[in-house]
Amino acid sequence: MPVRSMSTLRLLPLLLILGAVAASSLPAPPSWGEETAMSVSEADKKRLFELARASIRAHLKRESIPSLEGASPLLCEPRGVFVSLHRQGRLRGCIGYLEAVKPLGQAVVEMAAAAAFHDPRFRPLGQEELADLDVEISVLTPMQRLDRVENLEVGKHGLYIEKGRCRGLLLPQVPVEYRWDRTTFLEQTCCKAGLPHQAWKDPDTRIYTFTADIFSDHPAPPGPRK
């Protein structure tokens, strides 16, 4: 990922590679707050999927982006969010906001299009790919400093690790898909940050957790996605 200024990165979507954000220069820790329980209603999930797919279709057809008129209070609330696209179980694009810099509905509209057409690892999505395209949305909670690694819960928490100029993130679903234990989860997040895999033991390494409400319009098959 290119190195950018901290002020610029704070407002830019962060590229997610199999659930991991890793860059040599990211802003100071993202928006912090209490780890509160969060549940997106079925109605809001349906609306978010509609917005994501409508955004992708609009960009393909060069039409206006979907309107957020009549959006629920949650969709108008700033939230960190990632949009992941898969075809036949394989990653097709994934980009998101780590920080709550945009209202949730607007962020999903923007990140769905970004994942489809601006993920540098893939060619832009084509019209013929829409039929079997799976959309997964991860709505993030604010992050909390992890003082004891024993409090890290695989399957519940995502990880954000930083040391010096290195930063790395893994979403909560990643260790579940790859069947990692707590130690492997920590080691893999360090690797995504460009750090030695034992760097999480260093007192200078800061570790944060967050949770996410993760939902897909096409449930994934068992096992890690490729």
CATH of the domain at 74: 3.30.700.20
For the stretch 159-218, pLDDT in tens is 999 999 999 989 898 999 899 999 999 999 999 999 999 999 999 999 999 999 999 987
Number of domains in the chain: 2
Q: Helix or strand or coil: residue 93?
A: strand
Note whether 68 and 136 are same-domain residues. Answer: yes
d(CA 114, CA 110): 6
In what helix (H) or strand (E) does residue 18 lie, and over which residues does it extend? none
d(CA 147, CA 199): 15
Note whether 181 and 204 are same-domain residues. Answer: yes
**Sequence letter at residue 129:** E
Residue where one domain finishes, among candidates 105, 124, 140: 140
Q: What is the pLDDT of residue 13?
A: 45
Give the other-Cβ count within 10 Å of 55's Cβ. Answer: 22
Note whether 16 and 55 are same-domain residues. Answer: no
Q: What CATH number does the domain containing 154 carry?
A: 3.30.1490.150
Q: What angle do CA 124, 17, 165 make, to 5 degrees?
A: 125
pLDDT-flagged residues of the chain (< 50)? 1-29, 222, 226
- Show the domain range for 114: 42-140
Q: Give domain status of residue 1, yes or no.
A: no
Choose among 121, 69, 51: nearest CA to 91: 121
Q: Give domain status of residue 224, yes or no.
A: no
Note whether 126 and 201 are same-domain residues. Answer: no
Specify whether the CB–CB gap between 17 and 120 falls below 8 A.
Answer: no
Note whether 81 and 152 are same-domain residues. Answer: no
d(CA 65, CA 58): 6
